[in-house]
Structure 1
Amino acid sequence: MRSLTYLSLLLVVPQTLALKAHDFKTCSQSGFCRRGRALSARAREAGEKWISPYTVDPSSIAIASHQATFTAGVKSSLYPEIKFGLELRVHDDGVVRVRMDELGGLRKRYDEAASWALISEPVISKDIKWTAGKKDIRAVYGAKKENEVVVTFAPLRVALLRGGKEQVVLNGQGLLHMEHFRTKTPEVTHTEEPEPKEGEEIVEDEAQVVVKSENPRAWFEGDKEDDWWEETFSSWTDTKPKGPESLSLDINFPNHGTIYGIPQHATRLALPTTAGESPFFSDPYRLYNADVFEYLASSSMSIYGSIPVLHAHSAESTVGIFDAVASETWIDVAHASEKSTETHWISESGILDVFLMPGPTPNDIFRQYARLTGTTVLPAQWSLGYHQCRWNYVSSDDVRAVQKRFDEEDIPVDVFWLDIEYSEEHKYFIWDKKNFPDPVDMVNDVAALGRKMVVIVDPHLKRTSDYPVYKKASELGYLVKNKNNDEYEGWCWSGSSAWMDFFNPGVWDWWISLFKTQKLENGWSWTESTEAVHIWNDMNEPSVFNGPEITMPKDNIHHGGWEHRDVHNVNGMLYSNLTSQAVARRSDPPKRPFVLTRAFYAGSQRFGAMWTGDNLGTWEHMAVGVKIVLSLNIGGFSYAGSDVGGFFGNPEPEMLVRWYQVGAFAPFFRAHAHIDAKRREPFLLDQPYKGIVRDILRLRYSLLPVWYTAFRETSVTGFPVLRPHYVVFPKDQAGFDIDDQYYIGASGLLVKPITEKGATETKVYLAEDQVYYDYFNHHAYRGAAKGKEITVPAALHQIPLFIRGGSIIPTRERPRRATTSMKKDPFTLRVALDKTGTARGELYLDDGETYGHEKGQFVWRELVAEKPVKKARSVRIASKDLGLRRPGEAVEGVALTAFDPGNAFAKSIGDVRVEKVVVLGLNAKPTGVRVEGGGDLVWEYTPGVAAGEKKEGTASVLSIKDPKVLVTKDWAIVIEW
């Protein structure tokens, strides 16, 4: 967010008003990136003559007692006096971890990024043995011995193979370079002309004569010290007290031609090239959390978050890598051929710590990555509803008035948000009593109708003695220090500001205590709050208005003596982590918190939601927002969305309607607007736009069982909530580049949001020989074995939404004001038969608020439509308890010993029933419809196209009225014809 009202701020930081390219570095303006790219250029020029200077010392190899880990010494022919250590581990799921560090150097390299990202130390395999030979050391593993990892000694090269084919190769191009720590050597100057010694030359200058020795390392490192010790960008100088310490590494995928991931960038899902012939972008992809105001809709520049995980895909397999580095990183992408991809990773600091994920399917990669960094949190159910926000609702009465209008217009909403103006002089936690004189009463008025509030708490603390949060943090030494080890002062919304150092363990419990709603005996807490208030963490890159690239200087100091350059990309994650814990632990017992973050890193998915930042109200930003959210889902962060309507601007009604359609099919669904934007709450729209948006919101709420069930799955498996085409159909090469349509979980729902002005129809790609039903009018479309593009209507009131044949969609159809009013509502089941006449779905329910589900307090049902063996002309639709399918085993993380189908939650919804069943694509008009073991049911049948037919047209529809079967019980409905 940005304001045009704070003239003092604007005079200090006019660059924050809009994106200006010169506010942010390009690779050529970043010393270590420039050096890394120059290294790559020298390697290309040398061709086959280029040989990496790094080699493994075979005599130093030590294999651990459990056999799956080995260590070895590594030498560089450039610097034989510098020692490096290599370690490889094979985890029990086949992931290979490769670590390399400088040993016994002048300083220690930062090696803690993985400790923040990983959920625990990975389990090492007990079945794998390394075999050392004269030229390499290798291990073969897998159920069929299909995987192999080979470490070549001279030069050092690491390869992961499957079926004898190389999948991932490290240092195959010889671009590995760990800049070792060194002492700055002052340049020798002379006032008199010296005599040159052997191997030296004299370079004359008007002011002095300098003697320079020949540099035998120039072929590799270059012939000059390029920003080794001090670096200037615009008006800022980075002192770089540790000197050069960057890490260069090429990671190549010889048999995979498409790559996805490394969010967050505003670009296509399948990443375009940045190197080689005719690159799409001229700069590498940058991972450096930054407040990139009004970011471009197509760019490789960094924006708010960084997840250094990459998927490489082909029709044969998928592999992945996770590079656990927290410093600024640039990644070049090139394609040596249509079937191979080369990447070059250049990081400013840190050790080499790369995880190789063998796949071989996309879901295997999701599972392997989730075992490393955790899964997307199972959110509170209310947080999947609609969120209404703007900068700013100006008073308590304004909030009440907005809520009243939503209810008068029968428009559902679950959350109202307050931006920075709720706080007194931007002292977060402290209410502006002039405009919010009764904050607790206001929150209670919202909560009385089953809703929540979210308020912003930014990381910058106003540096004033009358702000108890800052005063105590300063006294305790909890704030980030500048290069001189004094309290760092920067400029943000609060004016002169300081920043909490969340790397300091002493901060953790203290920060958590601030969110307590009860008065503390020894400390300050937020007593003017309630459990209905949740938190928005913005500006946590961190954004510093008068800092280099609108962030914190890299030579600032954090706990442990680490420079900000070492931890920059992790910084924002620690903030949302601690805030999430704080909101959960204010309740006894804890309740699921909602925390929205703007900055993030690998592992941030464990703590809440994210949004794509300060987007523009344009069609281009609407479209790229879909691609960014898909990329985040690939990167393990499913709980994501973009500001509906665009943060900036005043979208015309058509655009706003389309944006609501986009938002309704994103995991996180929030409308938001800049302080200078016109009010655009949906109830302010004229007809027919208001009615269309109301229908969109009601559709979102009716589908909440689908969204919640999808989130349950991602919370235990890591499979994304939004699934692009290649995830669902990994062998269909024609769909690898598709990023404007996607599936919602395993539900079978396929959506293509419209992001083009004036559209009345669109094309949708169907990858398989299967029937797809229009969700609204039941028109049956046919795919083809080799893929087929269909044209579908897409007028403003229409959303291209389809049910894949073979799916069962559970919904709740009664319009409600908020999710809390839906807890006892009955269900409708849409049974979309596939061409064989069968279907399947799932329904997951819990209380949506507590952690009772972790103790077995849930309902998890499998819904099936199957053909009884003895009677072919019938379909049996049934509900089964998934929790009892595998007695004695754990069901995706929940031990069955803790699960009781008659648990307290199940009993609390024991009378919730299915009120309607709609069967699409039935072969013929039924002769009877009955509950198994019960009586006949009331039904209506409309003839039409059957699922098994080859033709298209409106499908046959059987509507069964109120079968009175219960959601928590086993039951079956038999349809005969």
Structure 2
Amino acid sequence: MITNTELEYKGDLYPTKIVSYDHEVDSVSFYTDNSVILKVTVLRDSLIRFRFTTKGYFSNDFSYAIDKSHTHGYNFLEVTDEDEYYQIKTSKVKCKIQKIDMRLSIFDLNDCIILEDELGFHWEESYELGGNIVKMSKTSKDGECFYGLGDKATQLNLKGKRLENFATDQYAFQKDQEPLYKVVPFYIGLHNKKSYGIFFDNTFRTYFDFCHERRNVTSYWAEGGEMNYYFIYGPQMEDVVTTYTDLTGKPELPPLWALGYHQCKWSYYPESNLKEVAAKFRELKIPCDALYLDIDYMEGFRCFTWNKEYFPDPKRMVAELAEDGFKTVVIIDPGIKIDKEYFVYKEALEKDYFCKRADGPYMKGKVWPGECNFPDYTNPVVREWWAGLFKELISDIGVKGVWNDMNEPAVMEVPNKTFPMDVRHDYDGNPCSHRKAHNIYGTQMARATYHGVKRFAYPKRPFVITRSAYAGAQRYSSSWTGDNIATWEHLWIANIQMQRMSISGMGFTGSDIGGFAEQPSGELYARWIQLGVFHPFCRTHSSGDHGDQEPWAFDEEVIDITRKFVNLRYQLLPYLYTMFWQYIEQGIPMLKPLVYFDQEDIQTHYRNDEFIFGNQILVCPILEPNALGRRMYIPRGDWYNYWTNEYCKGGKEIWIDTKFDEIPIFVKAGSIIPKYPVQQYVGELEFDELSLDVYYKLGKEKSVVYEDAQDGYDYKKGRYSFLSFQTNGKNNELIVQVHKEGKYDTQYSKYKINLIGLPFAIKAIQIDNVEFLFDRETLKKESYLIVDKGFTALHIIGE
């Protein structure tokens, strides 16, 4: 036990005795005799906010992270005054706040401890910077595990790690390097097979220590601002993640093409080079939906301009690429070149839209164009102006997406690689220094970009991608993990980063396939594409300094592997689109680490490599050179090997033999996996048949398929198709029931039903209780049926 005297000696201050409290509707405020106030707000029965102040009053309550439309409302709230503590009880948890020192503990309704303070809230006055360094420490139990925190380049389970959150341009980052590009101060704790979450909503530089400094203590602290955190109770990890994602917001559906394969390089220019790349994709029959233009498309790296020598007629070029199915995505950075002849600079200067230093002059920094000023995206007026700048790119020229880079913000030739900390920001009417605004600068740029692209792309949907992000950025933008390296270690990192981002609320994320810096071998590129097609955002990107990184930069075998796996992604587009729909509707992550999938199986708690793609496909990448097999863990349940259709019982580690053109993929028994025919780009083909891979299981299993017009907003008016399939397998029969919702009529009229794993020979088939005539020999040989899509029940009867 650390005494108050020891704390004073360390320079830390802490709450003293609670002298009063008041209860107003959903909030209970506690007051100490040294002016600390704790405000506890019950947002939902399993979602409680804890907010502390040391000055006797709270500053304006404002957050960029919280989605204003998040779900709130509780079923039960009771406050009781006990001898030594106050208790706040909901229908899910009990929170006890000690009267003597304000330390708190949270229990489930069976009085099992979920989370308890060690020192709890304490702080250190920072006379140098002004304000407090605010701190929180929690007791950690033996065997407790920790997950989340966005795209950290370390193992999935964060136990024993100390991590830093400060958005940083970390070119060619290494394993375990801190900090990186994104800031997601949210983690999930798992103990005694029960999960909870903590979201520390503080935009200052923050730190998290998961039993690194002290074995049984987890702590987090910030270099300013409030101790303001949200506690989320599961007990399932799914409950924690969906509640957090609802709290910080979800995106709208992307256009389906955004889930296709994208190709990027620094840089494709001139126009003839871009056209060659486009033609080669079509010649080699490797599907591709988007081509990217990096900074060299601009005139002297000035945003919203075109280099007319390289791209003499951008509108014509973009239209010609579109005729061949390619959407054009362009980069836009925050640095605006100081040039009195440059229209963007002139406008921002006249309207006073640039960030300023504390003593008045504009913040000046070097980036690609040379000396630049930087818009203050925390000012709503500046965001509105920025959104308007996209009219020419989107409306007139026909660009389909925008890529925000360098928005940590990154600045060259200075030791800290970013703005000085004295730069001032509007912060939506809550003026502050860059210390507070740094971590959300990139998100507010992406937000302004999103509103501009959305406005001018309408009635189509916008597509935006950002490098830097704070919690909640997923409402506006997809993201990627920044400037990685073409190494096997980075392939391992990418695999974990995507799982971590997915359970940290930011689902629409990918890595630079093949690595941005340096040159991958053909084998590394092939293994990376095999993983990358199972990430929500799928893009090859490279610096180009070390040679080409298109699929044809390698040998024929790598070209064939690339084609095979990109084809598979395009076949799985309806499955991927359905995953995305479940993400935006229910906050369900698109990628699920094994611990999320089955937290009660202790074997999953330290697994890094395997993950669940959607709800029903298990993927395990090959992460080492010269590997023709690997050990992997098959989670509990019944599975089929995707390549061989062999049945496998889960709950064990097994050795899988594999080939260079395969990675281990398993499908959950009972699943129905929808597939489109392979297209070279989304919308290329009209087809009359949706393939359904039906995997037999003894017992029941549910699958869903969401479809709509693939772009536009008609889906919000009910013009979508949502199919619920229920399979029910018995010893000698299989029943498939279908229920449809929505007003959208899909272009196909038939299902091609591929029957996998049936343990019996088929004697008869009924569709909606009517005998279905079929060719016994063909069915036995081909294992599929073609049926009209309107049925509600398919009954397959064994001999």
For 1:308, the equivalent position in structure 2 comes to 185
Determine if contact 2:779/2:785 at 8 Å carries over to the other structure: no
For 2:716, the equivalent position in structure 1 comes to 854
2:6, 2:777 → 1: CA distance?
76
1:93, 1:819 → 2: CA distance?
43
Determine if contact 1:558/1:564 at 8 Å carries over to the other structure: yes
For 1:929, the equivalent position in structure 2 comes to 765
Q: Secondary structure at the match of 1:509?
A: helix
For 1:286, the equivalent position in structure 2 comes to 164
2:765, 2:776 → 1: CA distance?
8
1:825, 1:249 → 2: CA distance?
59
1:88, 1:502 → 2: CA distance?
31
Correspondence for 2:335 among 449, 460, 465 = 460
Determine if contact 1:52/1:155 at 8 Å carries over to the other structure: no
Q: Secondary structure at the match of 1:442?
A: helix
2:593, 2:396 → 1: CA distance?
44
Superposition map of 1:926-965 within 5 A? 926-932=762-768, 933=770, 935-938=772-775, 959-963=783-787, 965=788
Determine if contact 1:257/1:341 at 8 Å carries over to the other structure: no
1:310 Cα deviation (Å)? 0.5
1:922 Cα deviation (Å)? 1.3
Percent of pairs with identical residues: 28
2:274, 2:688 → 1: CA distance?
28
Q: Deviations over 1:665-706 (max 9, x none)?
A: 111100001031311211343222211111111011111111
Q: Deviations over 1:254-285 (max 9, x none)?
A: 476100011231100101414xxxxxxxxx30
1:404, 1:415 → 2: CA distance?
13
2:163, 2:549 → 1: CA distance?
35
1:324, 1:716 → 2: CA distance?
23
Q: Is the alpha carbon distance of 1:51 and 1:476 closer, same or farther for their aligned partners in structure 2, counting shifts above 3 Å?
A: closer
Q: Is the alpha carbon distance of 1:776 and 1:476 closer, same or farther for their aligned partners in structure 2, counting shifts above 3 Å?
A: same
2:395, 2:734 → 1: CA distance?
59
- Aligned AA for 1:86? L
1:298 Cα deviation (Å)? 2.8
Determine if contact 2:65/2:473 at 8 Å carries over to the other structure: no
2:477, 2:683 → 1: CA distance?
20
Determine if contact 1:743/1:750 at 8 Å carries over to the other structure: yes
Q: Deviations over 1:111-154 (max 9, x none)?
A: 53x34433347635363121123432112221xxx510111122
Correspondence for 2:27 among 69, 74, 78 = 69
- Asked whether 1:698 is paired with 2:567, we answer yes
Determine if contact 1:57/1:72 at 8 Å carries over to the other structure: no
Determine if contact 2:454/2:461 at 8 Å carries over to the other structure: yes
1:873 Cα deviation (Å)? 3.0
Determine if contact 2:394/2:400 at 8 Å carries over to the other structure: no
Q: Secondary structure at the match of 2:547?
A: coil
1:74, 1:44 → 2: CA distance?
15
Q: Deviations over 1:316-338 (max 9, x none)?
A: 2101110000010111121799x
1:843 Cα deviation (Å)? 0.8
Structure with a larger share of its residues in strand = 2
Is there any run of 5+ residues in structure 1 with no aligned partner, and where? 1-39, 77-82, 182-227, 230-239, 275-283, 518-524, 884-900, 944-956
1:443 Cα deviation (Å)? 0.6
Q: Is the alpha carbon distance of 1:102 and 1:570 closer, same or farther for their aligned partners in structure 2, counting shifts above 3 Å?
A: same
Q: What is the total number of aligned residue pairs between the two structures?
A: 794
1:121, 1:718 → 2: CA distance?
11
- Aligned AA for 1:305? K
2:220, 2:434 → 1: CA distance?
20
2:704, 2:3 → 1: CA distance?
54
1:178 Cα deviation (Å)? 3.1
1:404, 1:325 → 2: CA distance?
48
2:559, 2:782 → 1: CA distance?
32
Q: Is the alpha carbon distance of 1:535 and 1:391 closer, same or farther for their aligned partners in structure 2, counting shifts above 3 Å?
A: same
For 1:87, the equivalent position in structure 2 comes to 39
Q: Is the alpha carbon distance of 1:358 and 1:838 closer, same or farther for their aligned partners in structure 2, counting shifts above 3 Å?
A: closer
For 1:264, the equivalent position in structure 2 comes to 151
Q: Deviations over 1:371-391 (max 9, x none)?
A: 311124422111111000000
1:46 Cα deviation (Å)? 5.5
- Asked whether 1:801 is paired with 2:665, we answer yes
Superposition map of 1:344-743 within 5 A? 344-517=219-392, 529-530=397-398, 532-559=399-426, 560-589=430-459, 591-743=460-612
1:45, 1:360 → 2: CA distance?
38
1:719, 1:454 → 2: CA distance?
28
- Asked whether 1:156 is paired with 2:102, we answer yes
Max radius of gyration: which structure? 1
1:408 Cα deviation (Å)? 0.9
- Aligned AA for 2:14? Y
1:88, 1:962 → 2: CA distance?
59
Q: Secondary structure at the match of 1:510?
A: helix
Q: Deviations over 1:186-230 (max 9, x none)?
A: xxxxxxxxxxxxxxxxxxxxxxxxxxxxxxxxxxxxxxxxxx42x
Determine if contact 2:204/2:436 at 8 Å carries over to the other structure: yes
Q: Secondary structure at the match of 1:312?
A: strand
Q: Is the alpha carbon distance of 1:505 and 1:376 closer, same or farther for their aligned partners in structure 2, counting shifts above 3 Å?
A: closer
Q: Secondary structure at the match of 2:361?
A: coil
- Aligned AA for 2:667? I
Q: Is the alpha carbon distance of 1:647 and 1:474 closer, same or farther for their aligned partners in structure 2, counting shifts above 3 Å?
A: same
Q: Is the alpha carbon distance of 1:135 and 1:288 closer, same or farther for their aligned partners in structure 2, counting shifts above 3 Å?
A: same
For 1:874, the equivalent position in structure 2 comes to 733
The TM-score with structure 2 as length reference comes to 0.94
Correspondence for 1:98 among 50, 57, 62 = 50
1:45 Cα deviation (Å)? 12
- Aligned AA for 1:291? D
Q: Secondary structure at the match of 1:173?
A: strand
Q: Is the alpha carbon distance of 1:774 and 1:126 closer, same or farther for their aligned partners in structure 2, counting shifts above 3 Å?
A: closer
1:858, 1:327 → 2: CA distance?
42
For 1:756, the equivalent position in structure 2 comes to 624
The TM-score with structure 1 as length reference comes to 0.78
Q: Is the alpha carbon distance of 1:475 and 1:336 closer, same or farther for their aligned partners in structure 2, counting shifts above 3 Å?
A: closer
Correspondence for 1:55 among 5, 15, 40 = 15
2:123, 2:187 → 1: CA distance?
22
1:939, 1:461 → 2: CA distance?
70
2:151, 2:32 → 1: CA distance?
34
Determine if contact 2:202/2:222 at 8 Å carries over to the other structure: yes
Q: Is the alpha carbon distance of 1:477 and 1:860 closer, same or farther for their aligned partners in structure 2, counting shifts above 3 Å?
A: same
1:918 Cα deviation (Å)? 1.7
1:93, 1:446 → 2: CA distance?
52
Q: Is the alpha carbon distance of 1:581 and 1:527 closer, same or farther for their aligned partners in structure 2, counting shifts above 3 Å?
A: closer
Correspondence for 2:119 among 173, 176, 191 = 173
- Aligned AA for 2:410? S
1:53 Cα deviation (Å)? 5.2
- Aligned AA for 1:311? I
1:123, 1:130 → 2: CA distance?
19
Q: Is the alpha carbon distance of 1:514 and 1:695 closer, same or farther for their aligned partners in structure 2, counting shifts above 3 Å?
A: same
Determine if contact 2:18/2:32 at 8 Å carries over to the other structure: no
Determine if contact 1:166/1:254 at 8 Å carries over to the other structure: no
Q: Deviations over 1:304-351 (max 9, x none)?
A: 0010001001342101110000010111121799xx953221211111
1:568, 1:49 → 2: CA distance?
32
1:467 Cα deviation (Å)? 1.5
- Asked whether 1:843 is paired with 2:705, we answer yes
Q: Is the alpha carbon distance of 1:736 and 1:244 closer, same or farther for their aligned partners in structure 2, counting shifts above 3 Å?
A: same
Q: Is the alpha carbon distance of 1:122 and 1:806 closer, same or farther for their aligned partners in structure 2, counting shifts above 3 Å?
A: closer
1:929 Cα deviation (Å)? 3.2
